[in-house]
Structure 1
Amino acid sequence: MLNFETRTGPDFGAAAPSYPTQGVPEWYRDAKLGFFVHWGLYSVPAWAVQHGEGVNIPAEDAYAWHQYAEWYGNTVRIAGSPTWERHQQVYGPGTSYEDLADLWDASAFDADAFVGELVGAGAKYVIPTTKHHEGFCLWNTATTGFNSVARGPKRDLISEFHDATRRAGARFGVYYSGALDWHVSDFPAIESDTDLFRFRRHDEHFSRYSAAQLEELVEKFSPDVLWNDIEWPDGGKGSDDYAVAALLSRYFDAVPEGVVNDRWGVPYHGFLTREYRHIPDILEHPWESTRGLGYSFGFNQAEDDRHSLSGAELIRMLVDVVSKNGNLLINVGPAADGSIPALQLEAMRAMGAWLTGNGSAIYGTRPWVRFGEPLRPVRYTTSSEGVHVHSLEPASGELIVPAELAEREARWADGSIAESVQASDGTSTLVIPDALRGDAVAVATLR
């Protein structure tokens, strides 16, 4: 996956705009866990080719066999692709992708119950997709009739998400696709990473359109996070009032403790994003790992438990990311009706249950001097309580504490003192209680 913070053109030279100076706020660094919600027209077909172990797709076919169900609107335009074939079979040649807007029934969506599951799973912030690359807006926008209030659900879904998230006491953010909007573009389907940046509009008209939509979102919802995707139109990167620099300045005026990501295509960003990527070590700059519970962000009904993270895998991923100075933005992809699929819900609830007992070793923590050990399944985090040592394999019954920490008192999450045995190499070994050996991760805090 691409690192977007390295894409900072065009070069305006001496005429370059002035950008805000805000960094990444402490609330964001303390939060550690957020939930993405990818929901849109793509949730109606809810389908993409299965990916995973044993599936080998040539690089030249990656877009025709895209793993992301939310890319259905692009993949269906690639004649002969599996998505194109399935669309003909299910909907017929006379139904376009945008016709799906009138088939979208969100009648099972209860925002308070939905957000309650996210917060119950440990989320400190929630970021729904307000407009994905398909161009369909999920709020009551004045910029286009291609929205969820005028068609399909006939509801302002983002307002419902916003109100429920605020009531639940979590931070609220918005995802917005700034430079890709297939509804107002006439380009061919994207079939390569090169096409991803070639087939997009950069003109002033579209730049103003994107700016107007983003300004609406800021005015209506005062989002704590502005999560832009796949850059911004080049026509909106200068010193104009409708350009990124001015937009972000007005955003921070309205939300002083707000934060943005790195996908604007300009020299300024907040946190870094890493999508479906394993990060091998601590990153000094605050960053966010993001992915779906399966191989897709949007719900893919073709996936089953072979393709989706279990609760234990999700917990271990959270611990790994946090130990390396990151936040985890995990995605839930609702069904079209607004319900959370059972497979996703199971993993979410398992993580929430684990965080209920171990949250102090995650929330508000920072990395230790190293994230873990080369040959041992262990991760470290630190807080005012001490150094938290996370065993990723508690079934082994033992947790080795490094020499730097061996003299400290160790306690398990329930407050009980850990039994330890000193070794000749300076390390100590903690005996993991039987009650914790079935957990995904067992945590000892060394004070």
Structure 2
Amino acid sequence: MFYFEDRVGPDFGADAPEYPDWTFPQWLKDAKFGIFVHWGLYSVPAFAETGNAPPPVEDAYRDHKYAEWYGNTVRIPGSSAEAYQRETFGSGTSYEDLADLWTTDSFDAHECVELFRRAGARYVVPTAKHHDGFCLWGTETTGFNSVRRGPGRDLMAEFATATRDAGLKFGAYFSGALDWHVSDLRAINSDPDVFRLRRNDEEFARYAFSQVRELVDRFAPDILWNDIEWPDAGKTAADFGVAALFRQYLAAVPEGIVNDRWGVPSHGYLTREYSDIGSLSDKNWESCRGLGRSFGVNRNETDSDVLTVAEMVRHLVSVVSRNGNLLLNIGLNADGTIPGIYRDRLEGLGAWMEANGEAIYGTRPFAGDAHDHLALTVGPHATYILVMDPVAELPTPPLPTAGGHWLGAGEPGDKFVVPETLRDSPVAVFAIPHTHAPGHPV
């Protein structure tokens, strides 16, 4: 797995650009939970491999488990995606031809975002452009977009309006250095290829810059979530470079923030994809992963491939207690509907958040040793002990529990013993008001 904060080349020495300082915004520090949305041409085939075991390293890209990589996988001879494309759409149909087959008649941005809000999300980050180069807004840079082709709609505009109407923050995902539509490079077959097979020329750097400037000008995203680096020609001090883009973005969105995937020595926070930061961190970070094993929707996924409600809740709690945010991904069906297998999970997560959200939102980690079965957060008015396995034998609490109570128990109780009514909860939460035990946040 890549740690993007380590990729900060090339070194321009004395000619290195000056980057603005980033302040992790208070709204994001308090939000804790957002929804990522992967939706694009790849949602038409909605095809990828599944299974628990990782494929051999030499076959990892041929048998890719990310459905949103279909535009690459379909070009690898002998891949199951190549066979699926031929059998489903005909041997003369290219990946880009799918743009004219993509219809979004059932998409209702307000309905989608309302479910995200009920699930407890405080921000939404849809994909504006993935690696295939297809843009989900009416860009002037290319006709390969959702207004000019298939859907005939500015999908980013609809998402932005619905998200802000719901009182949530809005972000935009953008693929910075991979754009297969305007590249003439062979298919990616390995991890090193991800970075070798990308355009680094000035023309492409200007193209990417112009697209992100459009996103900033039209939607003022609260987060610019870049992926897979940036063309090297755009890492200089040029007026179309990343440093200039960052300055212009902050001028337009003073509380805006960027992630760490730009390939430059400047970022707003760290990302971890289907992986973990390890322990309590003093750095702001975000865990991103799909409900299943893919970001784009995958027709081959079954119930066993998707996180349970309990697994989602425990992952969220684990991340938040270690100073992170969770960006949980939903892949939409091609028609714009949310798969039922995801909808049920989100409703379940929302029910837990409704009862226990005060132990998540606006909290900070508890500075202290880790404890088996327990996670701790500190809010404005209480310290919370989150019991990760409510049926397990509880360890000795790490702080006095007198005066505390169990959230959502339905009856008062100040003993540090999980009530029967919470035994089937994914995580049981014990709140200790600060009048009894002041917290020790990081």
TM over 0.5: yes
For residue 83 of structure 2, the aligned residue among 76, 82, 85 is 85
In the alignment, structure 2 segments of 5+ residues that lack a partner are: 434-442
Contact 1:323 1:371 in 2 (8 A): no
The equivalent residue for 1:213 is 211
Contact 1:282 1:370 in 2 (8 A): no
**In the alignment, structure 1 residue 432 sits paired with structure 2 residue 421:** no
The equivalent residue for 2:158 is 160
For residue 411 of structure 1, the aligned residue among 405, 408, 417 is 405
The equivalent residue for 2:296 is 298
Contact 1:47 1:72 in 2 (8 A): yes
Contact 2:401 2:414 in 1 (8 A): no
Contact 1:410 1:445 in 2 (8 A): yes
In structure 2, distance between residues paired with 1:51 and 1:30: 36
- Runs ≥4 residues deviating over 6 A: none
The equivalent residue for 1:251 is 249
Q: CA deviation at 1:188?
A: 0.2
Contact 1:385 1:445 in 2 (8 A): no
In structure 2, distance between residues paired with 1:407 and 1:182: 57
Contact 2:374 2:388 in 1 (8 A): yes
For residue 359 of structure 1, the aligned residue among 357, 360, 363 is 357
In structure 2, distance between residues paired with 1:363 and 1:371: 22
The equivalent residue for 1:350 is 348
**In the alignment, structure 1 residue 260 sits paired with structure 2 residue 258:** yes
For residue 284 of structure 1, the aligned residue among 267, 271, 282 is 282
The equivalent residue for 1:13 is 13
CA deviation string 1:121-148 (max 9, x = no partner): 1110000000000000000100000000
Paired AA for residue 222 in structure 2: D
Q: CA deviation at 1:278?
A: 3.0
In structure 2, distance between residues paired with 1:290 and 1:297: 10
Q: CA deviation at 1:343?
A: 0.6
CA deviation string 1:379-436 (max 9, x = no partner): 111112222111111134x544434x1254221114854343xxxxxxxxx2211111
**In the alignment, structure 1 residue 442 sits paired with structure 2 residue 428:** yes
The equivalent residue for 1:51 is 51
Q: What CA RMSD, in Å, does the superposition of the two structures yield over aligned residues?
A: 1.2
The equivalent residue for 1:24 is 24
Question: TM (normalized to structure 1)?
Answer: 0.95
The equivalent residue for 2:40 is 40
Paired AA for residue 254 in structure 1: A
Paired AA for residue 189 in structure 1: A
Q: CA deviation at 1:262?
A: 0.2
For residue 379 of structure 1, the aligned residue among 367, 375, 381 is 375
The equivalent residue for 2:231 is 233
Q: CA deviation at 1:279?
A: 3.3
Contact 1:371 1:381 in 2 (8 A): no
**In the alignment, structure 1 residue 182 sits paired with structure 2 residue 180:** yes
Paired AA for residue 406 in structure 1: P
Q: CA deviation at 1:377?
A: 1.2
In structure 2, distance between residues paired with 1:180 and 1:401: 51
**Secondary structure at 1:174 match in 2:** strand
CA deviation string 1:176-212 (max 9, x = no partner): 0011000000000000111111111111110000000
Question: TM (normalized to structure 2)?
Answer: 0.96
**Secondary structure at 1:395 match in 2:** coil
For residue 392 of structure 1, the aligned residue among 388, 395, 399 is 388
**Secondary structure at 2:150 match in 1:** coil
Paired AA for residue 356 in structure 1: E
**In the alignment, structure 1 residue 308 sits paired with structure 2 residue 302:** no
**Secondary structure at 1:247 match in 2:** helix
In structure 1, distance between residues paired with 2:199 and 2:279: 37
Paired AA for residue 341 in structure 1: P
The equivalent residue for 1:423 is none
CA deviation string 1:271-299 (max 9, x = no partner): 10000003331121100000000000000
In structure 2, distance between residues paired with 1:407 and 1:359: 20
In structure 1, distance between residues paired with 2:369 and 2:226: 29
**Secondary structure at 1:372 match in 2:** coil
Q: CA deviation at 1:115?
A: 0.6
In structure 2, distance between residues paired with 1:367 and 1:266: 29
